[in-house]
A = this chain, B = another copy of it.
Amino acid sequence: MELHDTTLKSIQLSESLEDYMETIFELVRDNKLARIKDIAKARDVRSASVIPAMRRLSEMGLITYEKREYIDLTPAGERVARRVYARHRLLTRFFRDILGIPNEFAQKDACALEHSLSDEGMDHIVRFFEFIQSCPEGGDVIARLQTCSLVNSDKKQCTGGCAIRHKEHVPSPAQMKTLRQIKPGESCNIIRINGTGAIRQRILDMGLMPGINVYVERVSPAGDPMWIKFQGSQLSLRLKEAETVLVNPE
């Protein structure tokens, strides 16, 4: 099977068809053959949905598909499938092993991106791995990232060896303020969200993230909601939420 001389770019498959190709690739690799039933099961669709897809892939010359015969990849199809599969693997590794996203979610996110990741994007992720693998600092920092309590637990303070060094760069806990402590009329820059679970998610969904600049508009006379402004629009925040947002006053 020659892999040269043909370009993969010529064929532009839909996401669905790419998924079928990837599924067939895995089935052929594991079981030597792919059946309609297995494909349907793997993709969680009905057999009847598989058949028109197989017909289209067959017309494109990517699979061999004769009625009631087993399905296999053509050499061209193998190239296409391998490409998608490689992207899936790379993304899964990146999301899981570098970013620490639990496997289940890493898989899901990889599925979403594998179809549309640009060549540039893929290349840079590979380079990221190359860097991690080649540069001693790279490996060290990823190890530190993965053990840092900031990232991996819900403790608010980084414990362990890096605790002291944190203070060099970042305002010490004493200097650090929460968004709640910022007075109306003042601005600040978000460092970290200490909230967890639903609170954290809600804060992130609003767009409050590390690096974002926030202006405090006013605090309700009643005390509780405070109004903040950022990225050109204004919204209200419960004090309970604002307490969990660590900021750097300006």
| A interface with B by C-beta (< 8 Å) | 1-4, 8, 29-30, 78-79, 82-83, 85-86, 89-90, 93, 95, 99-102, 105-106, 108-109, 111-113, 115-131, 133-141, 144-145, 148, 150-151, 158, 162, 165-166, 168-170, 191-193, 200-202, 204-207, 209-211, 225, 231-238
Contact = CB atoms under 8 A, between A and B. Distances in A.
B1 A135 contact: no
A150 B129 contact: no
A2 B224 CA distance: 12
Contacts of A235: 1, 3, 82
When all copies of this chain in the complex are counted, the total is 2
Given A3-B236, A236-B2, A138 B134 contact: no
27 contacts: A1-B235, A4-B238, A8-B205, A29-B231, A29-B232, A29-B233, A85-B207, A86-B206, A89-B209, A95-B124, A99-B124, A99-B128, A100-B127, A106-B121, A108-B118, A109-B113, A109-B121, A111-B116, A112-B113, A126-B204, A127-B150, A133-B210, A134-B169, A135-B166, A137-B137, A137-B141, A138-B141
Contact of A130 (B3, B191, B236): B191
Nearest to A25: B233
A129 B211 contact: yes
